Chain A
Amino acid sequence: DVKVTQSSRYLVKRTGEKVFLECVQDMDHENMFWYRQDPGLGLRLIYFSYDVKMKEKGDIPEGYSVSREKKERFSLILESASTNQTSMYLCASSLGPVWVAYEQYFGPGTRLTVT
């Protein structure tokens, strides 16, 4: 079974802090994704990566950056956390290429609160 893990289930940070969310997958998947989920808005794509060191902006990249130094690990970085970044963050992974439809495997999510 594919396993996608996220570093924290719950996280509380202060406004202005730099926040790192980590995601690890164990199935050698080419693609990894970061989403945020908000009530009434559903899931929205922040960034995705289709290979090591390769990344592409999703629909709502503002205020976020990402890093993928190793194939199995994809980090989401909030450079200066703000209260409007309070949300549930979900990581996912999939086989590639990204122009072909594949099933995505999701992590358990990190509920981030910025105070």
Chain B
Amino acid sequence: KNEVEQSPQNLTAQEGEFITINCSYSVGISALHWLQQHPGGGIVSLFMLSSGKKKHGRLIATINIQEKHSSLHITASHPRDSAVYICAVGGPDRGAQKLVFGQGTRLTINP
């Protein structure tokens, strides 16, 4: 079993829909990261969180430390949100910045 599991692996939705991507992890963490990767390869950090909830524009990330689970929500989705979303964790055992990554969720938003 991978240390970081994401679901779903692929998600297709219509413009305007509310999107949820899930991440579960099995190790102790210092922080959890949500990353976005557009076609062509470039990766951008969206959030880094260790507790509670963060919001940036239409994106919201939550984390439940007790349940070892995080969600990334996108409100009023738009075709430009189409990308691969990657969850990653770093922990005290291996080093907070030595990240372990999920396999990613490929999101497609149709107009």
- Give the docked Cα–Cα distance between A103 and B88 (Å): 11
B86 & A98 in contact (Cβ 8 Å cutoff): no
Minimum Cβ distance to chain A for residue B28 (Å): 12
- Give the docked Cα–Cα distance between A99 and B31 (Å): 11
A42 & B90 in contact (Cβ 8 Å cutoff): no
In the bound complex, residues from chain A placing their C-beta under 8 Å from that of B45 are 103-106
Our pick among A58, A90, A99 for the contact of B96 (Cβ within 8 Å) is: A99
In the bound complex, residues from chain A placing their C-beta under 8 Å from that of B40 are 108
Given A101-B31, A101-B48, A101-B90, A90:B41 Cβ within 8 A = yes
Segment at the A interface, from B13-21, B53-61, B66-74, B101-109: B101-109
Please encode chain A, from 92 to 106, with 1 for each CB lying within 8 Å of some chain B CB and 0 for all others. 101010111111111
Minimum Cβ distance to chain A for residue B86 (Å): 7
Please encode chain A, from 16 to 60, with 1 for each CB lying within 8 Å of some chain B CB and 0 for all others. 000000000000000101000000111111001000000000100
In the bound complex, residues from chain B placing their C-beta under 8 Å from that of A102 are 48, 96-97
- Give the docked Cα–Cα distance between A42 and B41 (Å): 12
In the bound complex, residues from chain B placing their C-beta under 8 Å from that of A107 are 42
A104 & B99 in contact (Cβ 8 Å cutoff): yes
Q: How large is the interface on A (under 10, 10 to 19, 20 to 34, 35 or more residues)?
A: 20 to 34
Minimum Cβ distance to chain A for residue B56 (Å): 13
Given A90-B43, A111-B41, A45:B102 Cβ within 8 A = no
B41 & A98 in contact (Cβ 8 Å cutoff): no
In the bound complex, residues from chain A placing their C-beta under 8 Å from that of B35 are 106
Given A106-B42, A108-B41, A43:B97 Cβ within 8 A = no
A43 & B88 in contact (Cβ 8 Å cutoff): yes
A44 & B96 in contact (Cβ 8 Å cutoff): no
B43 & A101 in contact (Cβ 8 Å cutoff): no
Query: Lowest 8 A-B CB distances belong to which pairs?
Result: A109-B41, A101-B31, A106-B43, A43-B101, A101-B96, A42-B103, A42-B101, A98-B97
Query: Which B residues contact A (CB, under 8 angstroms)?
Result: 30-31, 33, 35, 40-45, 48, 50, 86, 88, 90, 92, 95-99, 101-104
